[in-house]
């Protein structure tokens, strides 16, 4: 790592994955938001990939958990330990404490906002800044947020989906729903249990979503062999799962995201509505990459939707750009 007097670091604390950006170096770290803690003395045993390997496999005295739930801190102490680990791993404490910017969902309460600031400062930051997730996603997607015209962003990660209309560097109107990648995985797991009497883990459900999942009916049927535990006999069993079943399994959570998107569109001032119809809806976050989701949104809303380039990294890229141009984005940043 290169040493500098004052490192500027951006952290995207996602429900599923966390990314770290260092000014001058770019995205330097991407790890699952999982922490393994000893129940005996409360010590953090592993973070990120190492901890993820322990999910569902830990003995009684170790707990592997996800400290972020629905985009906000669910376990303060564990989140702080995780952030300290990230900062140390990217060489943040070379000479001086770093300046750190963290993104938060647009709808967080003052208490949740203070919790993130507190965890950031406790983990070793000299200064802590917050930026709202839709703003960071829009900046990272290359949307000119400081202009006096409306831009719509739909950011969908692991824990929550947020739709926001942005103009003059601020959020004009927004809505969020605690439905995103994780709930889609859960829907797939529930569907398989109900239809095939097969119990599968979240990793298997996510694999199904990525490999054969689709937001719209697919032309050519695809199949995937899925292994799990038979819910009646308790023995391992394999079933063949089809893409049309995957489509059926994900309709409900996707419908909730679209319902939230429509609510935002109803609240948009008329002047900005015409801008959005002209420019379309920018989709960011890992869930945006679900096959056919952009087509489904266009069908349901009548507004063109398109997936941003490198969608799952839009937020961290936006945090990095905001950090590098703090004066330009000052109105969008909270301390």
Q: Point out the annotated binding site.
A: 15-17, 158-160, 206-209
Q: Which residue positions form the known binding site for ATP? A: 15-17, 158-160, 206-209
Closest CA to 151 of 313, 14, 303, 329: 303
Q: Are strands 35-38 and 26-32 parallel, antiparallel or unpaired?
A: unpaired
Longest CA–CA separation in the chain, Å = 63
Of 22, 32, 15, 14, nearest in space to 319 by CA: 22
Contacts of 256 (CB under 8 A, 6+ apart): 177, 179, 183
Determine how many CB atoms are found less than 10 A away from the CB of residue 330.
10
Angle between helices 243-267 and 202-212 (to 10 degrees): 90
Find, among 332, 315, 329, 325, the residue nearest to 20 by Cα.
315
């Amino acid at each position: 790592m290169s040493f500098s007097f004052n490192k500027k670091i951006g952290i995207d604390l996602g429900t599923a994955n966390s990314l770290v950006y260092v000014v001058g170096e770019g995205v330097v770290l991407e790890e699952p938001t999982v922490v393994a803690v000893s129940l005996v003395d409360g010590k953090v045993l592993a973070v990120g990939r190492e901890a993820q390997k322990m999910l569902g496999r830990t003995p009684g005295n170790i707990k592997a958990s996800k400290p972020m739930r629905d985009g906000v801190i669910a376990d303060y102490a564990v989140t702080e330990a995780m952030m300290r680990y990230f900062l140390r791993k990217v060489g943040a404490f070379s000479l001086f404490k770093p300046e750190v910017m963290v993104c938060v969902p647009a709808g967080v309460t003052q208490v949740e906002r203070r919790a993130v600031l507190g965890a950031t400062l406790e983990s070793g930051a000299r200064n802590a800044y917050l930026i709202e997730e839709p703003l960071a996603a829009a900046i990272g997607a290359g949307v000119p947020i400081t202009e006096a015209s409306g831009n719509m962003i739909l950011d969908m990660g692991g824990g929550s989906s947020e739709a926001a209309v942005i103009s003059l560097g601020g959020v004009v109107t927004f809505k969020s729903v605690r439905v995103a990648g994780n709930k889609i995985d859960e829907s797939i797991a529930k569907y398989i249990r109900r239809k095939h009497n097969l119990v599968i883990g979240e990793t298997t459900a996510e694999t199904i979503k990525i490999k054969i999942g689709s937001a719209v009916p697919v032309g050519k049927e695809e199949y995937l062999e899925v292994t799990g535990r038979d819910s009646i006999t308790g023995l391992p069993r394999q079933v063949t799962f089809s893409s049309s079943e995957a489509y059926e399994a994900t309709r409900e959570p996707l419908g909730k995201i679209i319902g939230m998107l429509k609510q935002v569109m109803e609240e948009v001032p008329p002047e900005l509505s015409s801008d959005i119809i002209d420019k379309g809806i920018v989709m960011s976050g890992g869930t945006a990459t679900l096959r056919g989701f952009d087509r489904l949104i266009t069908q349901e809303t009548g507004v063109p939707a398109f997936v941003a380039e490198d969608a799952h990294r839009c937020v961290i890229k936006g945090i990095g750009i905001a950090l590098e141009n703090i004066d330009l984005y000052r109105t969008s940043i909270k301390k």
